[in-house]
Amino acid sequence: MAHAGGLALAALAGCADDADQGEAAADGDDLDLREANVVDAVVDPTGDGYGFDVTLHHDDDGEEGYANWWQVERLDGDRLGRRDLLHAHSEQPFTRSEIIAVPDDVTCVVVRGHDQTHGYGGLAAVVDLDAEAVRTVDQGADPGSFDAGDCP
């Protein structure tokens, strides 16, 4: 898949327009920090897929309540890869990296955060890899699938 340069997901984002999957506002003051919010990422093609540098913002609450992974999915929710987070992070926000294999026919993906206490919730990012565009959305506690119309 052709891809020119890195894609920055500039998403220090705030509250959503809609409780389910509304497009997120662009001010970081209204984030629900109990949730694992995807607030930034850089995506670069590699020989083995795409390198995802994902920044989460979450009020990690010790070893019993922290952001414990982020994952990359197809629009229908099929997981392509996941970066496990093994402990709480006192530095907030924080960034962790992973190389994720993305099939050639996939041009739009979802990056979601997850935490031990609340599960899914907070901001997710919908990324069009070809157009180098991103849209953040409030994913809700029971994240649904997306479709091509959700791609930025």
Condensed to tens digits (0 to 9), the pLDDT of residues 111-144 reads: 998 888 878 888 888 888 877 777 888 887 777 7
Would 93 be classed as within a structural domain? yes
Would 126 be classed as within a structural domain? yes
Question: Which CATH number does the domain housing residue 95 bear?
Answer: 2.60.40.730
Q: How many independent structural domains does the chain possess?
A: 1
Contacts 24+ apart (CB under 8 A), 61-64: 61/88, 61/117, 62/88, 63/87, 63/88, 64/116, 64/117
Would 21 be classed as within a structural domain? no
Would 41 be classed as within a structural domain? yes
Range from 2-16, 32-46, 68-82, 108-122 that averages highest in pLDDT: 68-82
Range of the domain at 42: 7-16+26-142
Distance (Å, whole) CA 40 – CA 30 = 16
Note the pLDDT tens digit of each residue in 73-108: 999 999 999 988 865 656 668 787 889 999 999 999
Would 1 be classed as within a structural domain? no
6-29 mean pLDDT: 39
